[in-house]
Structure 1
Amino acid sequence: MTSRKRCYNGLKNAKQHMILFFILFGVLCGFLLGSLLHGNVQSSIDPTPKEYAMYVSFLGEIWVRALRLLVLPLIVSSLLLAVAELESKQSGKLGRRTLLYYLMTTMLAAILGSILVICIKPGNVNVKKNEPNEKNVEPIHSVLDLIRNMFPDNLIQAAFSSVKTKYKTVKSPCCFNETSVGSNSSAEEMFNLFSSKVVSPWLTEGKNAIEIKINVKYEFDGIEKTSGTNMLGLVVFSVLFGYILGGLGENGKLMIDFFKILFDVIMNLVTMVIWLSPVGICSMVAGAMVNAVDITGVFKSLALYIGTCVTGLVIHAFIFYPILYFIFTRKNPLKFFSGMITPMVTAFGTSSSAATLPVTISSMEKNNKISTKISRFVLPLGATLNMDGSALYEAVTAMYVAQLNNYELTFGRILLICIVATFVSTGAAGTPAGGLVYIIIVLEACGLPTEDIGPTLAVEWFLDRVRTAVNVMGDCYCAGVMAHCFRNELDGERPEDETQFVIENEGTIETTTTF
């Protein structure tokens, strides 16, 4: 490596650490400011606490709006390029099996995160004054809405609207009871009686009255369009478009170059917005703190959220991966694990799968005796596409925000979160604090509010390192599985110089292997 390249990489690492330092400083300032203002805000009459909190979080709102502005071109260009370049470069049986394995483990991670949120309920702490946001709906309707949105009838319209099953409210009396109201009835009891039932107008003290209980149900009333980006439809279109584009070979090179330029432009804009994140996160954290009913509830909810994420990542890394490795290879996963400790520690320190890649390849080839033809194909592909930890984190965060706002987590919504988290994490680019962008993409796709992610961003820097270590661990186990599956083909492998492997500046990863 030349001295110029060393200098460039050193400056790049320094910038990443500087961003992290500023973000942590912004988080600390946000918690401090929110704690100092909380008492005054909650006791304020004019402006109201909600309006006061809006003023405090205004800069954070502008920051989130800037990120949301970049969501659409970012997700379309990144997914399209990921699939197009995969199709053109990583063909063959090994590529298909590796891709299938990565998609399976990523979906498992998202499902695991969803199950843990349902069990632990980190967002059910009394943090906000919210009423239930949605009606009970049929699970089959949620699934059908999911499928409808996967195939939008108008691509332009999908950028700002999606479809949803419409319901109408039907009320009917279900039973009649005689109710007696005495002189000792409290005002609260009287209010509950009148608000929950239809009561005869001649109800007076000491008299019996007829109460009519009302049964409320929701009936199907057609399909309606709702505001909000249909991200799922755009994701499906981008994947299919990229697949076809990659198969065109030289004929599609011009369009691939166009999307590469678009992606580079958007990533530069993202970097600019990320540099503003300390101010935005400070404002959002402070706004969330002053708007909280109970400030201790914020910390309790955040602790449960961190515990849910870390628990999911530990289960996925130390239970799911070893079980899958044993099922496919019938070998001891603990012995294999001992050979990947160095890359895991490096991933935790650098928070980058791509930066850890040379260490990962070296460890797999030297410690676990993985063939170069496997390691130099599977591991670079994993550094680009395998983001199990990110999928779990995004699913947990989306469902956590839904619980904070009392959104009903129907089967269709949970399935949508898992699917979107899987695809979004697969197309994610390795940028400093990149999780800030992609969690907003998942929230947008699932119709969830983005203004409540302030506290979660306060701990994103730590969770980012943990999930990166899990991602690298998944790459290593996949290399072990593929080495076992292709052991017969590798018995007569060609000379090592037929495998080409290049890594430049953390971002460009190219590999060519033929089976």
Structure 2
Amino acid sequence: MKKLALHWKIIIGMVLGIIWALVSSSLGWSSFTIDWIDPFGTIFINLLKLIAVPLVLFSIISGVANIGDPKSLGRMGGKTLGVYLLTTVFAIGLGLTLVNIIKPGKLIDEQSRIDNRISYEIWASEQGYQVKDGINYLQDPNFFERAQEISKLTKSELKDAAVSDKLQTAETRKKVSPLQPLVDIVPDNFFYSLSNNGLMLQIIFFAVFFGVCLLFIPDQKSQPVLTLVDGINEVFLKMVDLVMQAAPFFVFALLAGVVSKMAGDDVGKVIEIFKGLSWYSLTVLGGLLMMIFVVYPLILKTFVKKIPYSGFFKSMSPAQTLAFSTSSSAATLPVTMECVEHNLGVDKKISSFVLPIGATVNMDGTSLYQAIAVVFLAQMHMIDLTVGQQLIVVLTATLASIGSAAVPSAGLVMLIIVLDSVGLNPAWIAIIFPVDRILDMFRTVVNVTGDATVCSIIADGENMLNYQEPDDPTKTFDLDS
């Protein structure tokens, strides 16, 4: 029997998990699923959370430090990083605009969202988080009975949770400095930041600061540190790989558990869950397609007149196809470089500098998806994120994209970081997991297309672009090699 690819195994695991949840709900076995199957899904989430923080830390240090000598980067280096970060912020802004206009999380029935909201408030109380919008359903006695059914907590425990949250809300509303968010980014104890949820921005700040400082010390002293950092980073990437090898089994448990928890013994709620998920998928897909076919061509046309719309896509089609099938911009990098050099006419000096940096720091598709996912999950749990909280999503998603590994499903690990940054439950990634692999394929196409766009802009600015219309771009190299 031919060995199935991992993504097909994951899809089979997702389908079987959903089928099991439907069967168990219809037969009244939801409690069995929650008690005996769902814990393996929790283990999966814990493993991802275990890997996420050190992966971001060492990936960002490695990515920043491997840029090279800052004195030799000059104009081209600054321009490259600037354009990459600009497209990332634009992608996140587009995602936030779409999700706030379409509101996919609010298209689920009201009772399911109330149940989700109660679960969120109980979780926030247990974890010591402040409820984001200051509204507390646990303070309303009308919801105590439903809260007890959801959480199995006693009425007095629920009252304590409501009072605790009320005290926290009152404390945070005391007058603080307008620059307090900036102060909060800079840690006074890095090890404390490592061991506490919600302090990811402090870890990212430390990683960027550490990486930049490595650039300013002599090579003979920085190289051993870089070698160590790169080696540790490879270990954590291997951890992701091993965890993802077992993902089909974990995903079965994850989906079975999360659907059973949200639906209980009412099969009708499962339909509502996936109705909301379909709107979420369409929102993400719409944003990704706009980036590929509208945003990047417009940016390219603004700065590079000589590459036509059809010529760009004809030149990049082999790399885009491979990116779609592998969901890995790192695996696609050799083909991307070949397409950019031979089909778009970019000088190798430019492509060998710009594209590897892009594979590390340019994750426009991942950033757009993370922005939509966070707001969708908040909407699904009746949480109205403020403009300030959504700006934190923009900042965290932008910085986390630097440390997002260019491998399949790495964006899912980074989403845990973004959810943590705004005090939302990282376990909610289970809700969007069923469609993640398919959307991941489109996200990778966005990332690769963005790399090629920025590379062409930099090359044209340095007078190192010699574009000629390709007859058959697939003949320039062997796609199977």
Task: State the TM bucket, normalised to the shorter chain.
Answer: 0.7 to 0.9
Q: State the Cα distance separating 1:50 from its structure 2 match.
A: 7.7
CA distance in 2, matches of 1:264, 1:153: 28
Q: 1:252 to 1:22 in 2, by over 3 A?
A: same
Mapping 1:166-245, distance limit 5 Å: 228-245=197-214
CA distance in 2, matches of 1:476, 1:436: 24
Query: What do the CA deviations read for 1:80-112 (whole angstroms, capped 9, x no partner)?
Result: 111011144872321221111111101111121
Equivalent residues of 2:419, 2:426 under 8 A apart: yes
CA distance in 1, matches of 2:68, 2:176: 35
Mapping 1:78-227, distance limit 5 Å: 78-88=59-69, 91-124=73-106, 125-126=108-109, 127-128=112-113, 129=115, 130-131=117-118, 133-136=131-134, 144=179, 146-161=181-196
Residue range with higher mean Cα deviation, 303-312 or 109-118: 109-118
Q: State the Cα distance separating 1:114 from its structure 2 match.
A: 1.5
Between Structure 1 and Structure 2, which shows a larger proportion of helix residues?
A: 2
CA distance in 2, matches of 1:271, 1:390: 18
Q: In the alignment, which residue of structure 2 is the partner of 1:455?
A: 431
Which structure 1 residue ranges, 5 or more long, are not aligned?
1-13, 162-227, 492-505, 507-515
Query: What do the CA deviations read for 1:379-438 (whole angstroms, capped 9, x no partner)?
Result: 222223211111111222222222222222111211111111112122212334323322
Q: In the alignment, which residue of structure 2 is the partner of 1:62?
A: 43
Equivalent residues of 1:88, 1:247 under 8 A apart: yes
Q: 1:359 to 1:54 in 2, by over 3 A?
A: same
CA distance in 2, matches of 1:103, 1:54: 45
Between structure 1 and structure 2, the one with the greater Rg is 1
Mapping 1:237-276, distance limit 5 Å: 237-248=206-217, 249-276=219-246
Equivalent residues of 2:33, 2:256 under 8 A apart: no
Equivalent residues of 1:325, 1:333 under 8 A apart: no
Q: In the alignment, which residue of structure 2 is the partner of 1:210?
A: none
Mapping 1:98-497, distance limit 5 Å: 98-124=80-106, 125-126=108-109, 127-128=112-113, 129=115, 130-131=117-118, 133-136=131-134, 144=179, 146-161=181-196, 228-248=197-217, 249-293=219-263, 294-331=269-306, 333-334=308-309, 335-487=311-463
Helix, strand or coil at the partner of 1:406: coil
Query: What do the CA deviations read for 1:46-103 (whole angstroms, capped 9, x no partner)?
Result: xxx6896355421101111121112221111111111011144872321221111111
Between Structure 1 and Structure 2, which shows a larger proportion of strand residues?
A: 1
Aligned AA (2:5): M
Aligned AA (1:350): T
What is the CA RMSD across the aligned residues, in angstroms? Answer: 2.7
Identity %: 32
Q: State the Cα distance separating 1:144 from its structure 2 match.
A: 4.6
Q: State the Cα distance separating 1:151 from its structure 2 match.
A: 1.1
Q: Determine if the alignment matches structure 1 residue 76 to structure 2 residue 57.
A: yes
Equivalent residues of 1:146, 1:412 under 8 A apart: no
Query: What do the CA deviations read for 1:474-501 (whole angstroms, capped 9, x no partner)?
Result: 11111221122111x789xxxxxxxxxx
Aligned AA (2:246): L
Residue range with higher mean Cα deviation, 473-482 or 328-337: 328-337
Aligned AA (2:289): V
Q: Determine if the alignment matches structure 1 residue 26 to structure 2 residue 7.
A: no
Aligned AA (1:470): V
